[in-house]
Amino acid sequence: MRKEFGLAALALLATSCSLNGGLPAASLMMRDAALASGSIRSAHVALVTDGAVPGLPVQRLEADITTENGGGAAGSIAPVLGAPIDFAQVRDALYTKTSSGAFTRSTTRVLDATNLLDPHHGLAHLLADIQHPTTIARQRRLGIDSFEVTGGLPAADIAHLLPGATTAATITTWLRVEQTHIPVDTTLTFPSDGSTLDIKVSDIDKKMTITTPE
């Protein structure tokens, strides 16, 4: 019985690969990618927009982010209007650097950076809810051997990360071929105006300590 089951599983895998040009099934990889992304403890995240992304008044965010010790982030954010701002987030407290070079407690928050690694609101949630995923190609992305997968995302799922989002988007993600399929790069494209949101993740689980700025 076990031998017959094993042969059937191999046959099913071979069929799923042959139907997509020899590439692995996207649905299985996306499940792996969502689980792996949801377990990331720390990473360097670069978020870049092109055009007016619905619900996100930000051009760029780049930060070291950790989920440990209540969560924290430190980096810089460039709003659509105004100059880039250095910030530090320690648990629920946000600090921004003033023109004098000192950090001060801030109540204005356009994006919760720690949400990017939150398994229920961030990148992992987007990957878990991708609709009709399809493996497009195997290629090198940012110097890493990757599988390119595309699909769709409803507005309600995007709103977990961007509360002001009101439109659906297409998503393209490049998943690492080796080991777990953690995304190297992920791009959301909003069809209403072609604007894009790109999320790159690196330095995964590198030790990071985010402290309250003096």
* Number of domains composing the chain: 1
60, part of any domain: yes
13, part of any domain: no
Residue 178 has pLDDT above 50, yes or no: yes
2, part of any domain: no
Higher pLDDT pick, 136 / 10 = 136
pLDDT tens string 102-111: 899 987 766 7
70, part of any domain: yes
Task: State percent of the chain over pLDDT 70.
Answer: 89
Confidence of residue 52 (pLDDT cuts 50, 70, 90): confident
The closest alpha carbon to 177, from 137, 146, 141, belongs to 146
52, part of any domain: yes
Position 195 scores a pLDDT of 92
How far from chain centre, in Å, is Cα 36? Answer: 12
pLDDT tens string 123-139: 999 999 999 999 999 99
Question: CB under 8 Å to 142, separation ≥6 — which residues?
Answer: 174, 184, 185, 200
What CATH number corresponds to the domain at position 121?
2.50.20.20
Confidence of residue 15 (pLDDT cuts 50, 70, 90): very low
What is d(CA 112, CA 55) in angstroms, rounded to the nearest whole number? 13
**Domain region containing 98:** 22-202
The closest alpha carbon to 202, from 121, 85, 116, belongs to 116
Question: In terms of C-beta distances under 8 Å and separation of at least 24 residues, what long-range contacts does 25-32 make, across chains too?
Answer: 25/135, 26/133, 26/134, 26/135, 26/149, 26/151, 27/133, 29/133, 29/135, 29/147, 29/149, 29/175, 29/181, 30/127, 30/128, 30/130, 30/133, 30/149, 30/151, 30/181, 31/128, 32/180, 32/181
The closest alpha carbon to 72, from 88, 51, 87, 50, belongs to 88
Residue 17 has pLDDT above 50, yes or no: no
3, part of any domain: no
Write down the mean pLDDT value for the chain.
Answer: 86
In this structure, are residues 210 and 88 in contact, taking their beta carbons and an 8 Å threshold? yes
115, part of any domain: yes
209, part of any domain: no
Enter the tokens of residue 210. 């985010």
Look-up: residue for tokens 């994006």? 111
What is d(CA 73, CA 89) in angstroms, rounded to the nearest whole number? 5
